[in-house]
Amino acid sequence: MNAADVTISEVGPRDGLQNTKHFMPSAAKKAWISAEAAAGVHQIEVCSFVPAKLIPQFVDAAEVLAHANAIPGLTPVVLVPNFKGCERALAAGARRLTVPISVSEAHSMSNVRKTTAQAIEDFVRMADLVRSQARAERPQLVGACSTAFGCSLQGVVAENDVLRVALALREAGADAISLADTVGYANPEQVKRLFRKVRKALGEDFDIEAHFHNTRGLGLANALAAYEVGVRNFDSTLGGLGGCPWAPGASGNVVTEDLVFMFESMGVRTGIDIGKLIDVRNTVFAALPDAELYGHISKAGLPKGFQPLSQTA
C-alpha cells in the first residue's frame, strides 16, 4: 500500500447507481468494488440502506456490504437515509455510515419529508444507536450537509445555515462532516470561504470532507479550491456516474480517474494506481451499457513521460 496525501472515496456504487435505469447485478457490483480496491482505492461507498421499494437498485445492500467488508484494507461506507436504515446497516455490519441532512428546508421536505430540524433529531437518535453498539471498533458516523452550496428548489443556501447544521451534527456525535454540493452549484471562491468557516467553527482537527458534482463543469476546480484550504477527503465516482434525472445531459459526480490524475500530476499522492483505475472503468461498465459516462483522462491518455506517484504491485 502506498502512503497517500489525500483520500479519494469512490461513491459510484451508491451515488452513481441510485439514478440508473437498470439494476446492476450484484456480482458486477462486487467485481467493481474488488477491482477498484485492488487499484488502491481504500474507501468506497458501496450501497444505500434506503428501502428497496423506493430504490430497487439497493435491494442487495447487505450482500454487497458483506462482500466489501471482506476485502482487506478497504473501508466500505454505506449511506443511511433514516433511523430504520441505520438499524439495518448496523445489523449488516456497517463500519462507516454517511447520513445526509439537507441544509435547504425545501430540499429536505422534498427528499425525506422532514424539516432540517426533524432530520437532525433523527441524526441524534442514530448517533446514540451507533454509540451503543457492542463492538471492538465503534462504527464511524459521517454527517453530510447536503445542498451546502445551493439548492435547485430554494436557490441560495445561507452559509450560517450550513454552519448551524454542521455544529449540530458534530454535537450529536458525528465523527466527520461532509459538505456536499448536491446539485452542482458551488464555485471555487465559495468552496474556500465555506470550508474555512466550517473548519473555524468545528476546529482544526475535525475531519471535514468534500462531495462535489460536476453538473456545471466546476467539479475539479472546486476540488482544487478545497484542497488549497486544507480538505484532504474527496468523494467522486468512476466515469462521473450519477447524472441527475432533473438535469438531463448534465454530468454527475466529479470523475474519480480525472480527480486522481489532477492530484497525482500535482505531486499529491492518492495511493491509487491510475492505470489500473482506468482499466476498471473500461471493464466494469460493460455491466451498465445504458449509463452515460464522462471523463477526459480515459480518452486522452496519460501525458508522455507522466510519472505516477502511486502504483500498486
Residue numbers annotated as active site: 244
With left for phi above 0 and alpha for psi between -120 and 50, is residue 20 left, alpha or beta? beta
Q: Pick the closer one to its own copies by CB: 64 or 218.
A: 218
Residues 93-152 that bind its own copies (CB under 8 A): 150-152
CB of 149 to its own copies, least distance (A): 9
Question: Binding residue for its own copies (CB under 8 A) from 266, 275, 282, 283?
Answer: 266
Cα distance between residue 59 and residue 25, in whole Å? 11
Beta-sheet pairing, 75-79 with 96-102: parallel
Per CB under 8 A, 236 contacts its own copies: no
Per CB under 8 A, 229 contacts its own copies: no
CB of 192 to its own copies, least distance (A): 10
Cα distance between residue 281 and residue 298, in whole Å? 8
Q: Pick the closer one to its own copies by CB: 28 or 224.
A: 224
Encoded one letter per residue, x for contact with its own copies by CB under 8 A and - for no contact, window 2-31 reads ------------------------------
Do residues 57 and 14 make contact, with C-beta atoms less than 8 angstroms apart? Answer: no
Per CB under 8 A, 304 contacts its own copies: yes
Per CB under 8 A, 225 contacts its own copies: yes
CB of 150 to its own copies, least distance (A): 6
Element (H or E) spanning 9, and its range?
A: strand 7-10
Per CB under 8 A, 260 contacts its own copies: no
Q: Pick the closer one to its own copies by CB: 129 or 221.
A: 221
Q: Pick the closer one to its own copies by CB: 26 or 269.
A: 269
H-helix segments, 92-187: 105-112, 116-131, 159-172
Which phi and psi angles does 47 have, rounded to 5°?
-170, 175
Cα distance between residue 254 and residue 273, in whole Å? 18
Do residues 61 and 86 make contact, with C-beta atoms less than 8 angstroms apart? Answer: no
Q: What is the CA radius of gyration of the chain?
A: 18
CB of 62 to its own copies, least distance (A): 35
CB of 191 to its own copies, least distance (A): 10
Question: Binding residue for its own copies (CB under 8 A) from 153, 201, 229, 287?
Answer: 153
What CA–CA distances, in Å, run from 155 to 8, 93, 151, 232, 253? 29, 38, 5, 28, 20
CB of 79 to its own copies, least distance (A): 24
In degrees, to the nearest 5, what angle opens at C-alpha 287 toward C-alphas 178 and 72? 55
Q: Pick the closer one to its own copies by CB: 216 or 276.
A: 216
Question: Binding residue for its own copies (CB under 8 A) from 9, 18, 251, 253?
Answer: 251
Cα distance between residue 78 and residue 129, in whole Å? 16
Q: Across 153-232, where does the E strand assignment appear?
A: 176-180, 207-211
Q: Which residue in 123, 117, 116 sits closest to 81, CA to CA?
A: 123
Cα distance between residue 152 and residue 96, in whole Å? 29
Do residues 4 and 312 make contact, with C-beta atoms less than 8 angstroms apart? Answer: no
Residues 173-202 that bind its own copies (CB under 8 A): 183-185, 187-190
Q: Pick the closer one to its own copies by CB: 7 or 215.
A: 215
Question: Binding residue for its own copies (CB under 8 A) from 110, 265, 311, 312?
Answer: 265
- Binding region for its own copies (CB under 8 A): 150-156, 183-185, 187-190, 214-218, 220-221, 223-225, 228, 247, 249-251, 255, 258, 261-262, 265-267, 295-297, 299-301, 303-305
